[in-house]
Amino acid sequence: MRATRVLTFLATAVLVVAACTASTGASPAGGSPAAAAGVTVETSGTSNFGSVLAGPNGMTLYTHAGDTATSSTCSGACAAAWPPLETTAPPMGGFGVTGQLGTLTRADGTTQVSYRGLPLYYWQGDKKPGDATGNGIDGFSVATVSGSAPMPSASAPASAPASSSSGGYGY
C-alpha cells in the first residue's frame, strides 16, 4: 500500500513539473510571435554582427531604412516577409538592451515595437536563433544594440532564400 502511495505521489510530481515547463508553442522561425503583453527585446549573439537585438522567440530583429519613428512603410507582402514585432503593452528591454524602446501604431491598427525610434521586424528567411540572413535585403538592416548594422556594399550580394518574387515588395 505504501509503495502505491509513493508511486502515485511521484507520478503526480512528474506531471506537475511537466505542465510547468511545457513549451508555450513559440512561433516558427521567421513567423510573427503572438503579440504578448509587454514583449521583451533581448540580445543575441551572431557570427557576423556580434550582439544583435532579438525578439522573445530568440530570432534576430531588423530595422528598415524607409521607416520613421511614427510610421512603418512595410505592409502587405513586405510584412509577410518581414513580420513586425508586435505588442499589446509597453515593451521591456532585456539584459544588454541599452537604447530606448517604444511603440508606434501601424496602418492596420496593431502596435509595433521600435528601438531608438525605428520599428522592429523579423525576417522570414532566418530559420533559427542566431541567424541574421536579412541584412541588406530590400533596405533592411540587422538591429544592433548601438543601432542598425551597416548595409553591405553593392558588390556583396545578399544571401536570401530562394524566391519566385522579383525581390521588391512595392513600398
pLDDT, residue 48, reads 84
Whether pLDDT at 94 is above 80: yes
In tens, the pLDDT along 139-148 reads 999 999 887 6
Check if the beta carbon of residue 67 is closer than 8 Å to that of residue 113. no
Model-level pTM? 0.69
Q: Higher-confidence residue: 8 or 60?
A: 60
Neighbouring residues of 160: CB distance < 8 A, sequence distance ≥ 6: 125, 133, 134, 137, 167
In tens, the pLDDT along 36-84 reads 468 999 999 888 888 899 999 999 999 999 999 889 999 999 999 999 9
Query: Residue 115, Cα to own-chain centre: how many angstroms?
Result: 12
